[in-house]
Amino acid sequence: MKKKVLSVLSLSIAFWMNAQEKDSLNKNKIEEVVITGQYTQQSINKSIYKVEVIDAEQIKNMAATNAADVLNQTLNIQITPNTNSGNSTANIMGLGGNYVKILIDNIPVVGDTGLGSNIDLTKISLSNIERIEIVKGSMGVEYGNGALAGVINIITKKNSSKKLSIRAAVQEETVRDGYNIKKKGKGRHIQNLNVGYNLDDHWFTNISFNHNQFMGYEGEKAGYKYFGEKQIRGYEWNPKDQYEATALVRYTKDKTSFFYKVSYLNEKFNFYNPVSIREPLNDGQGGATYLASDREYNTNRWLHQFNIQTNLGHIRYMGDFSYQKQDRKFFDYSYDIPNRTTLSEKPENSYYKTDVIYSRGMFSNFLDSKKFDFQLGYELDYTNGYASLIAGNFFEKSLKRKIFTYGTFLSAEWNVSDKFSLRPGARLSVSENFDNQFNYSLSARLKTSENSNLRGVFGTANRYPTYDELYTYFVNLNHDIQGNPDLKPENGYSLGVFWDQGFSIGDGWKFNYNLEALYVDLKDKIEMVMIQRPSTYKYMNIDQYRSLLFGANANIVKDQFTFGLRTSLNGISVSKQDMDIKSPTDFQYNFQAGANVSYKLKNINTGFNLYYKYTGPSRLYVLEADGFQLGKNDGFHMMDFIVSQPFWKDRLELSVGVKNIFDVTSINSSTNAGNAHTAGSDRLNLYYGRSYFARLMYQF
């Protein structure tokens, strides 16, 4: 009922308003402004780093509803879902979520295990997103802990050219062949509302609301109503229900601007036990029922951010201050399946809890010179939290830890000439738990012509061990799995070369292409290894990881037609060790290709968008009983097709389409050998199959 009311409310607000939104997106799109890794916002063409941008128009054309949906279309970024926890994290060049820094407006996002890393991207909605910026490679000088594989920076909208701007949308999707809007039904149901208002020439305020309900996907299982001898109850993709609300106030005058933003997220995630137990009723008639021990997770996340940009004399200052907290709670309950009733509930406990105070400040333009400038910055992170089930439950009290890190960094930007720029940088990070960490970087940009650039980027980064790696304690008759408080941070570096060029080829056709080569080297990688047979495990700094990427991309544009083609070849070498056994270290290569086609009909403005991505087979050495063997993940194809039609002077837009046309769900995999926590599997879950959607959006 709540979902229906929200849908009707969103559409009602949309229909009675009668002014059209024209925000600053077009201006930003023309200027191609980026902020990731910059001293101040900068033209993407002048950026010394190679920054990939996915703008709001592209996001809208994809009909994406969260960050995971968008990033799945990007080469060498694979969204890795965990269907048991409901989290989906980013994997760049084979390195998982712990090595990818996720930012919102340049601030790392709080997650279950800390700040910025291993972030669930399905918890980041897109209802108020201006663009997503991606930088691959180690960015330890600029962004500190965890920025080993790359940085994903999600930029929200903070202004509008209209006095009042409102956007409301309702989107309904099937989940494979299932759809039902009723409670405990099927499909995905999304509603969002965004309202912006300019109080005067200096003050702007914005509020947004998003609701995303995923009803789950049964797959080979039989749903929560099933009971019987077979262990097939539940879902392959468990249901989740998210509500998010955000409010922003921004002030701008002369060279000073600041904004305060608060965001609240609530997520309910249901886990239905596949095992149901027959329980006699003792009614004298041989009656029985079936009981299951189910679990409900409830996540609450608060994000507070204050950003200020101003001039202190001629010195530019940009400061970010943030308080964030995330509490993922759970409770178990006994469920009578045939009678659809809850018999008893256990007290609610925190599964993960994290409170973070964070600040980052940067001073630049000390010399007030276009020839040479340098930047001095600081970053502090005070994390207070615990992980009761992962870190160990001691006498029913959660193991609590406080981690404080402080970093100071310095970089200089030297415009040697109109065509050649250099930026060296260094960072010192200090932690009360670990030895001091030093990171370095050196970037260069050569403007080879008016529309072409050659970039070279070298950078280092480190990753501090997480709570579970340090403090896990899971010891009983069958298991001995312990963390290692003596772990040291992982350290790595990357080296990249990037070339891009654009030009006109006559008759209104524009063509651009880019080539890239990137190498990432990671030492002291932390892994859980067996230290004593048959079941004694410990986290250790033991592995080395290397990744090599070659890519080529091209785009051609004329009027309302766009065609893009992307290819890449990624090689991965992992040096693993388990007691006296070592793995081979040869590179295993994976080929990927992608394409996008966009066309808009003149006069009626009907838009057609096609997105395609091919991920080739990948191989990885895994530990088997007789040593390390080469496992394989099958390749797969992804394709989405969306048609959009505006009405009523472009104020109303209807979009329909099909996602995952090739109906990919899971693929054959022999790389999941399992570990001390989980058993291996010969299938790898990726998606829940083909889905159809319709979206109705009103904006003015």
Least confident of 73-77, 187-191, 610-614: 73-77
333 — pLDDT class (breaks 50, 70, 90):
very high
pLDDT higher than threshold 70 for residue 5: no
Express as a percent the part of the chain with pLDDT over 90. Answer: 57
Q: State the Cα–Cα distance between residues 559 and 597, nearest whole angstrom.
A: 13
Q: State the Cα–Cα distance between residues 317 and 309, nearest whole angstrom.
A: 6
Q: State the Cα–Cα distance between residues 699 and 676, nearest whole angstrom.
A: 52
2 — pLDDT class (breaks 50, 70, 90):
very low
Note the pLDDT of residue 31. 53
Lookup: tokens for 449: 């012509």
What residues have CB less than 8 Å from 17, skipping those under 6 apart? 166, 698, 700
Least confident of 43-52, 202-211, 513-522: 43-52
3-state secondary structure 595-625: EEEEEECCCCCCEEEEEEEEECCEEEEEEEC
Q: Which of 171, 176, 81 is nearest to 688 (CA)?
A: 176
Angle at 564 between CA 559 and CA 567, to 5 degrees: 165
685 — pLDDT class (breaks 50, 70, 90):
confident
Q: State the Cα–Cα distance between residues 681 and 310, nearest whole angstrom.
A: 54
Question: Which amino acid, 394?
Answer: F
Mean pLDDT of the chain: 86
Is the bond preceding residue 239 a cis peptide, omega within 30 degrees?
no
Residue with tokens 């276009």: 370
Q: Which of 563, 676, 559 is nearest to 611 (CA)?
A: 563
pLDDT in tens, 101-124: 999 999 999 987 778 888 999 999
Q: State the Cα–Cα distance between residues 503 and 516, nearest whole angstrom.
A: 19
- Kindly compute the dihedral angle of the four CA atoms of residues 592, 595, 596, 601, in this order, to the nearest 10 degrees: -170
Sign of the alpha-carbon torsion through 328, 334, 336, 337: positive
pLDDT in tens, 360-371: 999 998 888 888
Q: What is the DSSP letter of 51?
A: -
- Cβ count near 665 (within 10 Å): 19
Question: Which amino acid, 408?
Answer: T
pLDDT in tens, 379-437: 999 988 765 544 444 434 555 677 889 999 999 999 999 899 999 999 999 988 889 99
Angle at 697 between CA 691 and CA 699, to 5 degrees: 155
Q: State the Cα–Cα distance between residues 115 and 133, nearest whole angstrom.
A: 19
pLDDT higher than threshold 90 for residue 527: no
What residues have CB less than 8 Å from 113, skipping those under 6 apart? 352, 354, 387, 466, 467, 468
Note the pLDDT of residue 12. 35
3-state secondary structure of 26: helix
Note the pLDDT of residue 681. 67
Alpha helices in 92-143 (DSSP H): 140-143
624 — pLDDT class (breaks 50, 70, 90):
confident
pLDDT in tens, 267-301: 999 999 999 999 888 777 778 899 999 999 999 99
3 — pLDDT class (breaks 50, 70, 90):
very low
pLDDT in tens, 172-213: 999 998 898 877 789 999 999 999 999 999 999 999 999 999
Note the pLDDT of residue 343. 92
Lookup: tokens for 253: 């005058």
pLDDT higher than threshold 90 for residue 25: no
Task: Compute the average pLDDT of residues 622-642.
Answer: 87
pLDDT higher than threshold 50 for residue 602: yes
Note the pLDDT of residue 424. 96
pLDDT higher than threshold 50 for residue 259: yes
Say whether pTM exceeds 0.85: yes
- CB–CB of 425/374 below 8 Å? no
21 — pLDDT class (breaks 50, 70, 90):
very low
Note the pLDDT of residue 480. 73
pLDDT in tens, 126-178: 888 999 999 999 999 999 999 999 999 999 999 888 899 999 999 999 999 88
Note the pLDDT of residue 477. 63
Note the pLDDT of residue 96. 87
Task: Compute the average pLDDT of residues 577-604.
Answer: 88
- CB–CB of 101/116 below 8 Å? yes
Q: What is the DSSP letter of 132?
A: E
Beta bridge partners of 668: 683
595 — pLDDT class (breaks 50, 70, 90):
very high
Task: Compute the average pLDDT of residues 331-351.
Answer: 91
3-state secondary structure of 670: coil
- CB–CB of 412/421 below 8 Å? no
What residues have CB less than 8 Å from 26, skipping those under 6 apart? none
Q: What is the DSSP string of 298-322?
A: EEEEEEEEEEEEEEETTEEEEEEEE
Q: State the Cα–Cα distance between residues 187 and 176, nearest whole angstrom.
A: 8
